[in-house]
Amino acid sequence: MSEWFDTKGKALSLDPANRGFQYGDGLFETIAIRGGKPRLWQSHLERLVKGCERLGLETTPDSLECVLDSALSGCEQDTSYCIAKIIVTAASGVRGYGRSAPSPGEIYVGVFPATPRDKNVYRDGVDTMLCETRLATGSPVAGLKTINRIEQVLASSECRAAGLFEGFTRDADDRLICGTISNVFIVTNNRIRTPSLDRCGVEGTMRRLVIDLLNDQGTGVEVCDLAEDDLAAADEVFITNSQMGAVPVRRCGDYEWDIGSTTHRVLGLLADFGIEECRA
Amino acid sequence: MSEWFDTKGKALSLDPANRGFQYGDGLFETIAIRGGKPRLWQSHLERLVKGCERLGLETTPDSLECVLDSALSGCEQDTSYCIAKIIVTAASGVRGYGRSAPSPGEIYVGVFPATPRDKNVYRDGVDTMLCETRLATGSPVAGLKTINRIEQVLASSECRAAGLFEGFTRDADDRLICGTISNVFIVTNNRIRTPSLDRCGVEGTMRRLVIDLLNDQGTGVEVCDLAEDDLAAADEVFITNSQMGAVPVRRCGDYEWDIGSTTHRVLGLLADFGIEECRA
C-alpha cells in the first residue's frame, strides 16, 4: 500500500538510530495530492521550513520540493488523488538528546492512496466529542507539526473508540485548542473565531487559507482564547484540515448546531479556490 | 558501535511506517548494564509497564525481560559496562493518529558501550545552566519516558552549545522540573526537596532509589513545587540518573554551591546499595 522514499531513491527501511524514532527529533507535513500535484504546497513548505529553523535542522525549500517531485514521479500508483507525507528528522549519529544546531536534516517521503470523504460529510456535518486527553500548555514547539504527537494519538484513540468523526482537545487550562486532525472555527452572532495556537496545537494550512480567504473579503477571523462555554454558545462550528478542506460540525457531545450561512460561505470560498471536496 | 535487536533476533532496519517514528507512539528505557546485568531493572520495568498501560500498548514484563536477556547474551561486545535501550512502540499498520487501545506493542533493544564518568565529576561536582527551553505543563504523559522528547533535545542542545554538563529545565509556569538527562534534588537547611513531576518531566529510576534509601533511614524527601528562587537559596544541589547515580552540582549560571554533608551522604548510600560509580 505505501511507498517510502528517501533522498537517494526508494527506501524500504530506516536506521533504528534515526533521531526521529529515538527522540521525536523531527517534523512532518501531510500533503493532499490532487491531479498529481501537491495542494497548498507553499503553506506546507513555509511551516516545514519554520519548523526546521526552530529545531535547528538544515534543509532547503528546493531540496524538499525536489524530493517530493521525485517521489511523485517515481510512484507506481495513481497519484491523481492521494496523500504525501514528508518527514524531516535530525540525521542519525549523535546519541543523547543534545546535538549541534543546526544539524543536517534527513528527508523521507511516503505516498499513499486516499479516498475522498463521502459527500454527506459536507452536506450533513459530522459528530464529534470533547476528548478527555488534554494538551500540555506552553510548548516550545506550539503551532509546529513535530513528530511528538502522543497527545493526538491518545485523543484520537478516544474518538475512534466512540466511533466519532473527530474529537476536540482542550489544553491543561481548559482552553479549546483544536481537533485531533483538524482546526476548529466557531461562529457566534456572525463573529468568526478560532483558537489561538501559541501555547500548543498545530497551525493547519487549511486554517490559514480560510483566515486569508475571509480576510480578502473583509471578514476578519478573531484568533483568541476559547473555552467549552464558547462551543456551547456557538451558532455554527466547522473544522478544517489539508485533506478535506472545511467540514461542518453538527454535534459535539451534548452541543448541537445547524449548518448556517457562514459555514456554507466558507465551503463556497474554498470550492472557488480549488478545494474540490468542498463543492456542493 | 551499536547493535539493534527486535523480538525476532537482530534487526538492522526499521519499517518507516513504525508508529514510533511516525507519531512518537511509544516509550523507552535507558538501562545501565553493569557486570552484564541490568541495574535497577525492576524500577525500569515498572515505569515501562505503567507507560504501556497509559498508552494502551500490550506487553508483558516477561517479554520485556526476555528480549533484553536475549539481546545481552547475543551481543558481540563486552557487556560488563554498557547501556541498553529498550523502545516499545505501537505496532505498524494503522495510519492516522488513532488506534485501538490496547494495541500490540513492538519491542526494540539496542546495546551500546559506555564509559564511566570521570571520578572528579563525583568529587568536584559539575557546572550546569538554566535552559531557555521550557517544558509544556499539564502533559497527559507526565512522569513517563515517551519517545516525545523534543523539549529535551532543544534544552540539551543548549547545554551542549555552552559546553556544560547539564541544564535545568523549568516548565511554562517557571517551576523548576528536572535536568535534561537527570532529576534534581535541592538541600536547604537540611530539608531535601525534589520537584513534583505530575505536570511534566520524567520520574527517574535513580530519583526513586534516592528517595527510598533516604526514607529507609527516616529522612523524608519533600516532593513539591520548586522555582529558581529555591535554587538560589539552596545549600546543596545534586542530580541523579540511572547511568551515573548521583552527581554533586557546583554551579548553575550565577548560583554556586558547596558539596555538603547531605550530598556526601547520598553518594555513600548509593555506593553501599551497589551504585559503584558513587564510591569515593
Using 70 as the pLDDT threshold, list the residues of chain B that sit under it. 1-3, 5-12
A136 and B138 in contact by Cβ < 8 A? yes
Contacts of B11 (CB under 8 A, 6+ apart): A16, B4, B5, B108
pLDDT of residue A93: 75
Residue of B nearest to A111 (CA): B17
Residue of A nearest to B157 (CA): A98
B56 and A101 in contact by Cβ < 8 A? no
A99 and B21 in contact by Cβ < 8 A? no
Contacts of A91 (CB under 8 A, 6+ apart): A19, A103, A104, A105, A106
B140 and A136 in contact by Cβ < 8 A? yes
pLDDT digits (tens, 9 = 90+) for A151-198: 999 999 999 999 999 999 999 999 999 999 999 999 999 999 999 999
pLDDT of residue B200: 98
pLDDT of residue B1: 32
Point out the residue among B18, B112, B138 whose CB comes nearest to the CB of A95. B112
Decide if domain B119-278 falls under CATH 3.20.10.10: yes
| Backbone torsion region of residue A226, taken as left when φ is above 0, otherwise alpha when ψ lies between -120 and 50, otherwise beta | beta
Q: Is the pLDDT of residue A76 over 90?
A: no
Q: Report the C-alpha gap between A37 and A190 in whole angstroms.
A: 35
What's the rounded mean pLDDT across residues A128-137? Answer: 98
Shortest distance, CA B218 to any CA of chain A (angstroms):
36
Shortest distance, CA B251 to any CA of chain A (angstroms):
20
A13 and B18 in contact by Cβ < 8 A? no
Residue of A nearest to B10 (CA): A16
pLDDT of residue B71: 85
What's the rounded mean pLDDT across residues A106-111? Answer: 90
Residue of B nearest to A142 (CA): B136
Whether the upstream peptide bond of residue B16 has omega within 30° of 0, thus cis, is no
A17 contact residues in B (CB cutoff 8 A): 2, 4, 110
Q: Is the pLDDT of residue A1 over 60?
A: no
Residue of A nearest to B101 (CA): A157
A24 and B137 in contact by Cβ < 8 A? no
* Domain spans in chain B, listed from the N-terminal domain onward: 3-113, 119-278
Of the CA atoms within 13 Å of residue B246, those in its CB half-sphere come to 30
pLDDT of residue A2: 44
Point out the residue among B100, B148, B180 whose CB comes nearest to the CB of A160. B100
pLDDT of residue B92: 84
A157 and B200 in contact by Cβ < 8 A? no
B25 contact residues in A (CB cutoff 8 A): 149-150, 153
pLDDT of residue B2: 44
Task: Give backbone dihedrals phi and psi of A145, rounded to 5 degrees, phi first.
Answer: -105, 75
C-alpha cell of residue A226: 476559547
Residue bearing the bigger pLDDT, A230 or B78: A230
Domains A3-113 and A119-275 share a fold: no
A147 and B21 in contact by Cβ < 8 A? yes
Decide if domain B3-113 falls under CATH 3.10.180.10: no
Point out the residue among A99, A108, A155 whose CB comes nearest to the CB of B157. A99
B157 and A98 in contact by Cβ < 8 A? yes
Q: Report the C-alpha gap between A186 and A249 in whole angstroms.
A: 10
Q: By percentage, how much of chain A surpasses pLDDT 90?
A: 82
Shortest distance, CA A226 to any CA of chain B (angstroms):
18
pLDDT of residue B9: 58
Contacts of A145 (CB under 8 A, 6+ apart): A27, A28, A29, A47, A48, A51, A202
Q: Largest Cα–Cα distance of chain B, in whole Å?
A: 55
B140 and A134 in contact by Cβ < 8 A? yes
pLDDT of residue B7: 60
Instruction: Pick one of 3.30.70.100, 3.40.50.10330, 3.20.10.10, 3.40.640.10 as the CATH number of A119-275.
Output: 3.20.10.10
**How many beta-carbon contacts under 8 Å exist across A and B?**
205
A180 and B97 in contact by Cβ < 8 A? yes
Element (H, E) at A212: helix A205-216
Amino acid identity for residue A51 in this structure: G
A22 and B87 in contact by Cβ < 8 A? yes
A22 contact residues in B (CB cutoff 8 A): 28, 87, 147
